[in-house]
Structure formats: structure tokens, C-alpha cells
């Protein structure tokens, strides 16, 4: 038997979060900082990263920062090797950076949006989405795996999405394709790297109120529509992801690898089938 404080502890762990300046990545950095980890952040926005660092410094140790476009393999390597040096090692990489791949074929009113139909998607959108969402995970992992092998241990936790394994209405096909690839990459790396003591897992959020897609999930009307697809009746806040992040970074996750943990209020189950699209029982209304 172990006490919960020991089992889920990240105290003193050296942890890097990519895309940690905003949204889910910031919430992960916050949970790690608040619980005594030594945190590094890689993000392409120096300005947002500095603002994040100032907020984190108020709850714990100020994070180390590296500005890089992780879609570029050289920048990924330089930034992660630099943080590895500054932190004195790397226990956990949260490979979280990612972007939207444009809107899906249905609008918030439930009607098809002609401009967003599959055959109208610009090939450049696919290229950009794959290069960031798949490329940044691939390049970040390539940068840290030799360091983790040398240390004989390490963890890589990838922010994937429920779009890795379910079809979408309001999320574009380029994003779905990118997260499908990320999901398979996580399983492949977990298999190959297990013999080196390196665990690889994914967190799969559903819609979460972050700055992704130009901040469209901050919009109350959009949150209401997407919340109706979740049996729990609301979209996620970035803080909803913190518990699973602590699980996968701590001793509690010692025997977990190759797994995708979904945090989506039940969205992957499908909407609740009542006439107005809401589940009255779970909302305590019936």
C-alpha cells in the first residue's frame, strides 16, 4: 500500500511541456509546477511563453523556456537538448504542441457549410497540420529518446485527441488524419522503447476551452453546442486534463505504456438521445 501523496508525486521530476504557453499545455505545466517539478516549456510564441512563466512563478519555481517551431527537426532538437542541459536531465516529455486543421463540415447551427466540404480543403492545410501535429511529436521524440535511453528511463506523454479514433462533424479532416497518425505513433514508440525503460502514452481530450483554432472554443455559443455532444453536459476546461497528466508522470503510471487515456466527458460515446440534445438526468433536471 502507498500513500496517495507518494504515489502521484512529481516532486523534483524534470519535466518539459511543448506548447506549454497556452491551453492544455499550460494546465499541465501548472499541475507539475504546483507539485514541485522542475518544468521547462518549449513554445513558438515567446511572448505567450513569458506571460505563462510569470504566472507559473507565482505558484512555484519559474519554468525554463525555449522558443522553437517544433515542426522543424533542428529546432526541436536544439530546444529539447538545451532544456535537458538546464534541467539536469529529463524524466517526462509532454509532447503537447498542436494546431487546428480547420473547421469541419457542419456549422454550429448543425447545417452543412459548403465552404468547409472535404473536397474544398486546401492541400496546404493538410501539409501544415501534419507537419505540426505529427511532425512536432515525431521530432520531439527523436530529440529526447537518445537522452532517455542514456538515462535508462523516461516518459513521453503525447496530447492526442478523441479525433484519433472517432469521426468528427465540426473538426476538419486534416486534423482527424493528423491525430490518427499520432495515435499510431504512440503505440509504435511504446512497443519499440519499452525495453529501454521508456513509457509512451497519449492523453485524448475532447473539446477543451483553449486558444486553439483562433480561440473559437472560448465562444459561449460554441461551448454550448459542443457541450451537448458530451454526456456529462459540458466541454472540458484545460484543468480537467491535469489529473491524467499527473497519473502518467508519476509512479502511479509505472506500469502503463502504449495506452490512450480519453478525457472527454463521454463525448466518444456519442450524444445523449433526448429530443433537445441534453441529458436531463445527468443535469439533475429530471
Residues annotated as part of the active site: 175
Q: Of 178 and 257, which has the nearer Cβ to ligand NAD?
A: 178
Only segment of 3-11, 15-23, 111-119, 149-157 that touches ligand NAD (CB under 6 A): 15-23
Sheet with 92-95: strands ordered across? 64-67, 38-43, 14-18, 92-95, 154-159, 198-205, 260-263
Q: What is the dihedral of CA 259, 260, 263, 268, to 10 degrees?
A: -130
When asked if residue 173 is in the footprint of ligand NAD (CB under 6 A), the reply is no
Could you say which of 48, 187, 216, 278 contacts ligand NAD (CB under 6 A)?
48
- Can you list the positions of beta strands (E) in 191-259? 198-205
- Evaluate whether 92 touches 155 at the Cβ level (below 8 Å): yes
Only segment of 53-61, 94-102, 110-118, 275-283 that touches ligand NAD (CB under 6 A): 94-102
* Closest of 213, 220, 246, 244 to residue 234, by C-alpha: 220
Could you say which of 172, 207, 253, 265 contacts ligand NAD (CB under 6 A)?
207
Only segment of 4-12, 38-46, 58-66, 115-123 that touches ligand NAD (CB under 6 A): 38-46
**Residues of span 138-157 touching ligand NAD by CB under 6 A:** none
How many Å apart are CA 140 and CA 41, to the nearest integer? 12
When asked if residue 64 is in the footprint of ligand NAD (CB under 6 A), the reply is no
Q: Of 9 and 222, which has the nearer Cβ to ligand NAD?
A: 222
Q: Of 81 and 151, which has the nearer Cβ to ligand NAD?
A: 81
How many Å apart are CA 208 and CA 240, to the nearest integer? 9
Could you say which of 9, 159, 242, 250 contacts ligand NAD (CB under 6 A)?
159
When asked if residue 79 is in the footprint of ligand NAD (CB under 6 A), the reply is no
Environment class of 156 (CB within 10 Å of its CB; exposed 0-12, middle 13-18, buried 19+)? buried
- Evaluate whether 156 touches 198 at the Cβ level (below 8 Å): yes
Rg (alpha carbons) of the chain, rounded to whole number = 19
Q: Of 9 and 159, which has the nearer Cβ to ligand NAD?
A: 159
The phi and psi torsions of 268 (rounded to 5 degrees) equal: -65, -15
- The kind and range of the H/E element at 84 are helix 73-87
When asked if residue 103 is in the footprint of ligand NAD (CB under 6 A), the reply is no
Spatial CB neighbours of 125, under 8 Å, sequence gap ≥ 6: 101, 102, 172, 174
When asked if residue 9 is in the footprint of ligand NAD (CB under 6 A), the reply is no
Could you say which of 129, 161, 242, 257 contacts ligand NAD (CB under 6 A)?
161
Per CB under 6 A, residues contacting ligand NAD are 19, 21-25, 43-45, 48, 69-71, 96-99, 132, 136, 159, 161, 205, 207-208, 210-212, 217
Amino acid at each position: 500500500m502507498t500513500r496517495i501523496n507518494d504515489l502521484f508525486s512529481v516532486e523534483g521530476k524534470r519535466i518539459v511541456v511543448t506548447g506549454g504557453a497556452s491551453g492544455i499545455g499550460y494546465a499541465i505545466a501548472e499541475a507539475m509546477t504546483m507539485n514541485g517539478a522542475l518544468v521547462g516549456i518549449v513554445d513558438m510564441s515567446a511572448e505567450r511563453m513569458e506571460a505563462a512563466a510569470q504566472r507559473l512563478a507565482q505558484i512555484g519555481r519559474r519554468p525554463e523556456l525555449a522558443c522553437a517551431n517544433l515542426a522543424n527537426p533542428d529546432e526541436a532538437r536544439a530546444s529539447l537538448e538545451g532544456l535537458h542541459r538546464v534541467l539536469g536531465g529529463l524524466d517526462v516529455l509532454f509532447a503537447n504542441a498542436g494546431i487546428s486543421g480547420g473547421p469541419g463540415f457542419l456549422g454550429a447551427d448543425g447545417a452543412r457549410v459548403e465552404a468547409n466540404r472535404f473536397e474544398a480543403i486546401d492541400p496546404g492545410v493538410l501539409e501544415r497540420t501534419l507537419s505540426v501535429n505529427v511532425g512536432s511529436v515525431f521530432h520531439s521524440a527523436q530529440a529526447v529518446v537518445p537522452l532517455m535511453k542514456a538515462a535508462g528511463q523516461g516518459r513521453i506523454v503525447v496530447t492526442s485527441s478523441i479525433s484519433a479514433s472517432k469521426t468528427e462533424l465540426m473538426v476538419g479532416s486534416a486534423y482527424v488524419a493528423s491525430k490518427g497518425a499520432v495515435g499510431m505513433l504512440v503505440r509504435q514508440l511504446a512497443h519499440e522503447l519499452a525495453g529501454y525503460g521508456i513509457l509512451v502514452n497519449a492523453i485524448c481530450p475532447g473539446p477543451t476551452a483553449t486558444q486553439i483554432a483562433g480561440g473559437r472554443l472560448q465562444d459561449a455559443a460554441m461551448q454550448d453546442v459542443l457541450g451537448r455532444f458530451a454526456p456529462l453536459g459540458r466541454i472540458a476546461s484545460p484543468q480537467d486534463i491535469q489529473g491524467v497528466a499527473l497519473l502518467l508522470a508519476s509512479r502511479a503510471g509505472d506500469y502503463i505504456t502504449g495506452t490512450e487515456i480519453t478525457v472527454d466527458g463521454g463525448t466518444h460515446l456519442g450524444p445523449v438521445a433526448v429530443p433537445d440534445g441534453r441529458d436531463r438526468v445527468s443535469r439533475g433536471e429530471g
